[in-house]
Amino acid sequence: MTLGWASIARLGLVQMAIGAVVVLTTSTLNRLMVVELALPAVLPGLLVALHYGIQITRPNWGFMSDAGGHRTRWIIGGMAVLALGALGATVGVILFETSFAAGLSLSILAYALIGLGAGASGTSLLALLASATEPRRRAAAATITWLMMIFGIAVTAGTVGAFLDPYTPILLLKIVGVVTGLAVLVTILAVRGIEARVQATRRPPDTTSFMAGMREIWAEPA
């Protein structure tokens, strides 16, 4: 069995959830560090660079999810790590108000988790999409999922900014808790049963399918 359009849209919801969580750390928390806490702008810039730098490990996540044959676990587990990192980064921002050293230490750890979580979840999702989608649908499937991620980024950034005015640390924690909790829940519901149905009618996972499938996704015309 290959993925139909409904299943592709369900996987797109995971991309949307990833975008919603990541934008909290690359936009909302960064603005708070600079505007509310008057920290140098280079600090959030370096933290974001850390989370993107760690995502150089994405090929490893794709290979491991292929080899293990349980991409659903990697997708959900990665999202849980991403959510934990976002919550840690939020607490780190709050700690900056009382202790720069404590806030920085927690922020470094949190942004590292964000990079690991986004890499594990996002890459495993794309590996599943690449290997379970018909070749003629792969370009459109990639476009759909990425557009959904952009939608999640845009909606979350605007909504959180509106709800966070006026800013208080408790309100920030509540908002981030709601967004990350919903992201994990949406991910669990979105991927539930998809991989099992695909594997029921397919041969055991090929460890070369991730890279081959990703090359086909980006090589085919939209």
Q: What is the pLDDT of residues 98-134, one digit of tens each?
A: 999 999 999 999 999 999 999 889 888 988 888 888 8
pLDDT of residue 167: 87
d(C-alpha 2, C-alpha 141), whole Å: 12
* pLDDT-flagged residues of the chain (< 70): 1, 65-66, 68-69, 199-222
So what's the pLDDT on residue 5?
Answer: 86
58: how many CB neighbours lie within 10 A of its CB? 18
Query: In the numeric block, which tokens belong to residue 205?
Result: 């996972």
pLDDT for 222 equals: 43
pLDDT of residue 127: 85
How many Cα atoms sit within 13 Å of 111 on the Cβ side? 24
Instruction: Give me the pLDDT at residue 12, please.
Output: 93
pLDDT, position 2: 74
Give the pLDDT score at 47: 94
User: Residue 69: left (phi > 0), alpha (psi -120 to 50), or beta?
Assistant: left
Instruction: List, in sequence order, the alpha helices (H) in 133-193.
Output: 135-163, 169-191
pLDDT at 201: 57
DSSP state of 200: T
pLDDT of residue 99: 93
pLDDT tens sequence across 28-53: 999 999 988 999 999 999 999 999 89
**So what's the pLDDT on residue 77?**
93
pLDDT on residue 128: 87
| pTM recorded for the entire structure | 0.85
Distance of alpha carbon 161 from alpha carbon 4, whole angstroms: 36
The pLDDT assigned to 96 comes to: 94
pLDDT at position 83? 97
Q: What is the Cα–Cα distance from 46 to 49, expressed in whole angstroms?
A: 5
Burial class of residue 128 (count of CB atoms within 10 Å of its CB; 0-12, 13-18, 19+): buried
For 47, the token pair is 């933290």
Burial of 123 (0-12, 13-18, 19+ CB in 10 A): buried
